[in-house]
Structure 1
Amino acid sequence: MTTEAASSSNPAHFIAAFGTGGLLTLMVHFNGELAHYGNALFASWTAHGTGTVAAIILLLIFYRGRISNRVKASGAPLWAYLGGLSGAATVILTSTTVNSPLALSGTLALGLAGQVVFSVAADRWGLFGLPKRRPDVRDMAALGLVISGSALIILFGRGGV
């Protein structure tokens, strides 16, 4: 993102993204608690079952009268349906690692590092239909800071009160 694009962005987008990070932390914690009392597969099934019920209720509330006016959308590429598999794997893996010595902060730190590394790679090689973009010095600096911060959290973050 260029500096002029960042400065002209809507502040609500930044607030929403920050809030989403907080919700992600709660989700990982709750799924870890479910895995602690059951197992990681139970946590994944519960999370996705709850999400399915919530989605059905929201669809019934918001799209009750609009079903007949619907325009047929073009089909999504087949790889787009893999989001469900990666979501289930994410819940299973984070539910397992949050109950390990990594704890919540280590799990989220490594997850963030993995997201940044993968997103830089996706930009570089144009994965999933993204435009190809070479990482610049700022991208690499941000990547280094995220990885360094993750290492600090994991290596020196234990032993708190």
Structure 2
Amino acid sequence: MTIDAARNPHPIYFAGAFATGGLLTFMVHLNGELARYGNPLFSSWTAHGTGIIAAVILLLLVHRRRMPRQEKTLKAPLWAYFGGISGAATVMLTSTAVNSPLGLSGTLALGLAGQVVFSVAADSWGLFGMRKRHPDARDIAALGLVVAGAALIILFGRGAA
């Protein structure tokens, strides 16, 4: 991928990322409701159980009959298989936080701030085999705006904690 292609992605990627944010909000709300009527562990088990069922159905719908060529098959690093652990922790933590005075918007605002902080750190340190990319002034400014926006939602929003 060229630098120009990376800086000017197709609009479908923006739409997909925006839709993902909406789905994430919906998921956090539903998981919070499950936790409210049960507990965060029940919420996580239910979310991941229904996720497995949905994934199997989607795989059956889009399954391709041809097998991948052996010479092109790469093995994922061992640490890549631990994404489910962070997913389970995320469901349990957000299910708890969304039922606190933070509410849905405060939980997601802090979650977004945490995502941005961690991603800038991962880029600058080259975590998980990524190429190092040191943040520039725009990255730091964007990081500050996201954190400030999260603080505004939590401290001065209509449902302030």
TM over 0.5: yes
Structure 1 residues 126 and 111, CA gap change in structure 2 (3 angstroms): same
Structure 1 residues 75 and 4, CA gap change in structure 2 (3 angstroms): closer
1:71 alignment partner in structure 2: 69
2:31 alignment partner in structure 1: 31
Work out whether 1:13 is the aligned partner of 2:13: yes
Percent identity reads 71
**Residue 4 of structure 1: CA displacement?**
4.8
Structure 1 residues 135 and 60, CA gap change in structure 2 (3 angstroms): same
Structure 1 residues 159 and 69, CA gap change in structure 2 (3 angstroms): closer
**Residue 102 of structure 1: CA displacement?**
0.4
Structure 1 residues 60 and 4, CA gap change in structure 2 (3 angstroms): closer
- Structure 2 residue matching 1:128: 3-state secondary structure: helix
Unpaired runs of 5+ in structure 1?
Answer: none
Aligned length: 157
**Residue 71 of structure 1: CA displacement?**
3.4
Indicate the RMSD between aligned Cα atoms, in angstroms: 2.0
Unpaired runs of 5+ in structure 2?
Answer: none
Aligned counterparts, 1:142-153, within 5 A = 142-153=142-153
Contact 2:102 2:159 in 1 (8 A): no
**Residue 22 of structure 1: CA displacement?**
0.4
2:108 alignment partner in structure 1: 108
Give TM-score scaled by structure 1 length.
0.90
Give TM-score scaled by structure 2 length.
0.90
Contact 2:103 2:159 in 1 (8 A): no
2:47 alignment partner in structure 1: 47
Contact 2:44 2:92 in 1 (8 A): yes
Q: 1:14-62 deviations in whole A, cap 9, x for unaligned?
A: 0111111000000000000000011100010000000101111122222
